[in-house]
């Protein structure tokens, strides 16, 4: 009997100590372990159905836990380094120049070529550019050409240029001249020195060949250039032949296009076709059987192109103006 009463007393003391401890922890804001059954405080004891609205939650209506990510400065762009703490991010540098328009890329390609005339007036079409590309690809110099120097010649000033193609081998230098007509290019037969001249109020392209041999021959041709092609206007062959050589005074026979003429008629006709005041600009000349660019074409040899590179320039231009 005494033992049973002692157990009841010890149990009561334990409960009193536990309740006092719970009250102290609750007052200090410390969460305790689950309250043993039968020892709930009045605040913890609620009859089912008496919960407050704040305590009543429908299953599944609990708020999800929100994940937080490290704060990233809103002004720092991906791929850039943020500035040091305490300093605002630097503003991105911007180019104040206007963007280069796509249609002006044809002008940039055209700038790679020497040009006689006004580049801004050039009206070379895609078909003409491709025809000139094919002309370069199939050009057949009389020697193995290593480098090609293409140029454009707008002699008429109508914006439709001829193709001038200078080529260089190991020991030789020569050129071809091409026009464009009916969708394809064609080679124009030229000789040596090309000069733009003004004859009787008309701008022409003069071709001159000087052959100094036992029989002196000068060949002078004039081309009327228009709309990308060249028409031969006249072709005059001057020839003087020595018949009696004398150290003091030799005798000659004079011919113009095969017809014998007097020395006076020979000289008069020659100077009519070669007046110095008629020359506007010489584009290609010959010195000691070697060709050399002149005037607007003096820059012709500044950039070397392989055959494929020269072809590609005109293909790129055609792609831009299609």
Burial 69-102 (b: 16+ CB within 10 A, else e): eeeeeeeeeeeeeeeeeeeeeeeeeeeeeeeeee
- What digits encode the pLDDT tens for the residues 133-144? 999 999 988 777
Name which of 19-28, 271-280, 311-320 the model is least confident about.
Answer: 19-28
pLDDT of residue 262: 95
- What digits encode the pLDDT tens for the residues 76-93? 344 443 343 443 443 343
Name which of 27-41, 55-69, 173-187 the model is least confident about.
Answer: 55-69
- What digits encode the pLDDT tens for the residues 196-212? 999 988 999 999 987 76
Flag whether pLDDT at 287 surpasses 80: no
Asked if 255 contacts 247 with a C-beta cutoff of 8 angstroms, the reply is no
Flag whether pLDDT at 95 surpasses 50: no
State which H helix or E strand residue 261 sits in.
strand 259-261
Arithmetic mean of pLDDT, 231-247: 85
Q: Match 């791929």 to its residue by tokens.
A: 79
Q: Match 């011919």 to its residue by tokens.
A: 255
Q: What is the pTM of this model?
A: 0.63
Arithmetic mean of pLDDT, 242-270: 87
Residue 91 DSSP code: P
Arithmetic mean of pLDDT, 156-166: 94
Asked if 180 contacts 160 with a C-beta cutoff of 8 angstroms, the reply is yes
Q: Is 152 helix (H, G, I), strand (E, B) or coil?
A: strand
pLDDT of residue 247: 63
Flag whether pLDDT at 99 surpasses 80: no
Flag whether pLDDT at 279 surpasses 70: yes
Asked if 311 contacts 136 with a C-beta cutoff of 8 angstroms, the reply is yes
Q: Greater confidence, 203 or 297?
A: 203
Distance CA(114)–CA(23), nearest Å, equals: 101
Residue 311: phi, psi to the nearest 5? -60, -40
Asked if 111 contacts 122 with a C-beta cutoff of 8 angstroms, the reply is no
Q: What is Dmax (Cα atoms) for the chain?
A: 174
Q: Greater confidence, 63 or 260?
A: 260
């Amino acid at each position: 009997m005494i033992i049973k009463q002692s157990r009841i007393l010890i149990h009561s003391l334990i409960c009193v100590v536990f309740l006092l401890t719970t009250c102290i922890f609750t007052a200090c804001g410390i969460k305790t372990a689950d309250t043993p059954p039968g020892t709930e405080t009045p605040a913890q004891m609620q009859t089912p159905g008496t919960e407050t609205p704040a305590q009543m939650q429908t299953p599944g209506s609990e708020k999800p836990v929100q994940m937080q990510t490290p704060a990233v400065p809103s002004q720092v762009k991906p791929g850039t380094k943020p500035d040091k703490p305490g300093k605002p991010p630097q503003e991105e540098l911007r180019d104040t120049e206007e963007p280069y328009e796509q249609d002006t890329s044809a002008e940039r390609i055209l700038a790679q070529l020497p040009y006689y005339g006004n580049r801004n007036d050039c009206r070379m079409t895609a078909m003409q550019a491709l025809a000139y590309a094919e002309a370069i690809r199939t050009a057949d110099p009389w020697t193995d050409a290593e480098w090609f120097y293409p140029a454009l010649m707008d002699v008429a000033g109508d914006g439709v240029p001829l193709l001038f193609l200078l080529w260089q081998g190991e020991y030789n230098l020569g050129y071809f001249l091409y026009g464009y007509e009916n969708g394809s290019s064609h080679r124009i037969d030229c000789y040596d020195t090309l000069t733009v001249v003004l004859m009787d109020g008309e701008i022409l392209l003069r071709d001159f060949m000087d052959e100094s041999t036992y029989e002196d021959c000068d060949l002078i041709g004039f081309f009327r250039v228009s709309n990308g092609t060249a028409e031969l206007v006249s072709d005059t062959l001057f020839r003087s032949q020595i018949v009696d050589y004398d150290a003091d005074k030799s005798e000659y026979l004079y011919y113009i296009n095969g017809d014998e003429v007097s020395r006076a008629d020979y000289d008069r006709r020659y100077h009519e076709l070669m007046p110095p005041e008629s020359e506007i600009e010489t584009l290609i000349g010959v010195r000691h059987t070697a060709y050399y660019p002149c005037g607007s074409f003096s820059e012709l040899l500044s950039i070397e192109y392989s055959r494929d590179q020269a072809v590609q320039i005109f293909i790129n231009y055609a792609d831009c103006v299609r």
